[in-house]
Amino acid sequence: MTKIMLGRRRFTAAATAGAASLAMPALAPSAFAQGEPIKVGAIFPLSGPAGPNGQAVVSAIKIAAEMINAKGGVLGRKLVVVAKDDESTPAVGVTRANEMVAEKVSVVIEGWNSPVTLAEQPVLARANILDITAVSKADPILSGQGNPFAIRLNSSNGQDGAVIADILINKLNAKRIGFLSQNDAYGNGAQAVIEAELNKLGKPVDRTEWGMTPQTYNAYYNGSNNEIVLPAAAFAIPGLLDADADDALVYGYAGASTIGHELTHGFDDEGSQYDAHGNLHEWWSKADRQRFNQRVNGIVKQFNGYTLLDSLHINGKATAGENIADLGGIVIGLDAFKKTKQYKEGKKINGLTPTQRYFLGYALGWQMHVRDESLASQLLTDVHSPAQFRVNGPMADVPAFYQAFGIKPGQKLYRPDSTRVVIW
């Protein structure tokens, strides 16, 4: 099944600017959005021996809220601090946590991981309330603890308020769901999505449902549904009108890197294990599977050999499925392009042959800049090869690429015939 999504709309919100510098919209307090404010709970001992420490932290939290409100709040909503005295006993702490739930707070800042806060945390978690720990530097419980999410405070001065403000902005903007008023369109939409997901429990799978929006610049293969989904955005070439794109460019940009790529996923090292009904079931003969695995080993070896950042290597095994799909997409897209009038006429455009433009069209979608740190992380965590090798890697296995650009032995992208991978 193939789904091409063109008309359905679903709105998402862009991430708010980084919080380290409190880079929020410069809204006046009168410009706050209509609806309930965002409530920030504070559960600390406000009386007894530990009272001074708790009062100092609550004072810093109030300073933080004032700083944030002066900058326009969070998503245009005002922050209001709700403080509770937990009296330093687990039973009272649980009661205070339940009070926070009843008052519909969005985030709770509480004391260090003592028996009190450990009792409070499950209550807050069940209500999907953000939980942040904070402690005065003078608090003896701090000794020997290593919670990386804690706010370490010295006093109730403005400096501590700035620390809390940064953390609150980060946490609230990261969550975005659960602290918006019922009058807020995005909040309503987000809540509706959550409820729709919960409503699926215990019911048959809806095989017509989309996993992406039409505006999403991506595509996917779903083995369980035996389908590929192609959002409309994947076919838009940035900066170029559809009417200005020749067939060669389109067949490379969309036909190979998107349509052919996702089709091939159905027959890569993972997708090939799903049958026509989307069940994980071996439907190949043992001999076919063995020959296929031998070919996969070839592409694993090829990508293991690529070096980045002086000494790091692509994980050929982890990226095998995507590399197979890239190679298959190029081959499928080229076979389709050969049926077009442009290919058959062979006329050059801007000095380039149709086949050259096809390969450049594929490469067009992988132009990007990546920081070295991000690239190093990708090599360890991503099942996709870095962009340049999603172009140079599979193209080096395609004979038509050598013919189109006259690649000769000794040139950087040349691979001997015996090492070129052929899977499909």
Q: Are 274 and 324 in contact (CB under 8 A)?
A: no
Identify residue 120 by its one-letter amino acid code.
Answer: E
Closest by CA to 73, choosing from 181, 148, 155, 190, is 181
171 in Cβ contact with 165 (< 8 Å): no
Catalytic position from the list 120, 166, 326, 397: 326
Verify whether residue 262 is a known catalytic residue: yes
Note if 326 is an active site residue: yes
Cα separation, 315 vs 320, in Å, equals 8
Which one of 262, 269, 322, 397 is the catalytic residue?
Answer: 262
Q: Are strands 227-231 and 220-222 parallel, antiparallel or unpaired?
A: antiparallel
Give the integer Cα–Cα distance in Å for 102 and 118: 19
Are 117 and 94 contacting, i.e. CB atoms less than 8 angstroms apart?
Answer: no
Q: Which two tokens stand for residue 29?
A: 């307090």
Indicate the pairing of strand 107-110 with strand 130-136.
parallel
- Residues recognised as catalytic: 262, 326
